[in-house]
Amino acid sequence: MIGYSKNAALHPANSRGFSLIEVLVTIIILMIGLLGLAGLQARALTAQMESYQRSQALILLKDMASRIEANRKNAAAYVTTLNPAASCPAAGATVASKDLNEWCNALLGAAEVQGAAKVGAMIGAQGCITQTIAPATGVSAQYLVAVAWQGLNSTAAPSITCGQNQFGANDALRRVVAIPVNIADLL
């Protein structure tokens, strides 16, 4: 046993190529981790955009509900379906027509402008105001104010019909938020 050492396996001549394989495996593991991180970042950006659009829709929804409540006697004049992509109603002499015109422009994104483009709202935003309960003596009238827009990922299609079939064949991209507005009996 002359020249035999207990640590012969650790001798540099016996471990040739070991660190190269180790480096390649480390690079592959790192690459998989970075791809996962890139996917996570893309999903986070999508979720952030969805959240931004929902918050904008809620702001516009509450704005119109407040306008209807402020003009209670003429609440029925607000019943409409607005598709800003087609055209906004002209601002007439009545408070309701001015409110609808301003709401339509807000749905277009007029609150935030970049160059000539209106960018302050949702993708393909639409507004709908429907009467769900007719006014009668002793019964409050009820209106449903809804805002619809196109989301980025498919989900379950909403049951509210505002914006239905307006975002292509896939109604699962449609997002809707709504709020009821009760107008007490004014008789």
Q: pLDDT tens-digit profile of 22-80?
A: 889 999 999 999 999 999 999 999 999 999 999 999 999 999 999 999 999 999 999 99
pLDDT value of position 121: 80
DSSP class of residue 160 equals S
Give 103-121 as a DSSP string: HHHHHHTTTSEETTEE-SS
Taking the model in full, what pTM does it have? 0.77
Reported as type and span, the H/E element at residue 66 is helix 18-70
Angle at 49 between CA 100 and CA 111, to 5 degrees: 35
Decide: residue 49, CB within 10 A, 0-12 exposed, 13-18 middle, 19+ buried. middle
Angle at 38 between CA 36 and CA 42, to 5 degrees: 115
Angstrom distance (rounded) from CA 184 to CA 133: 11
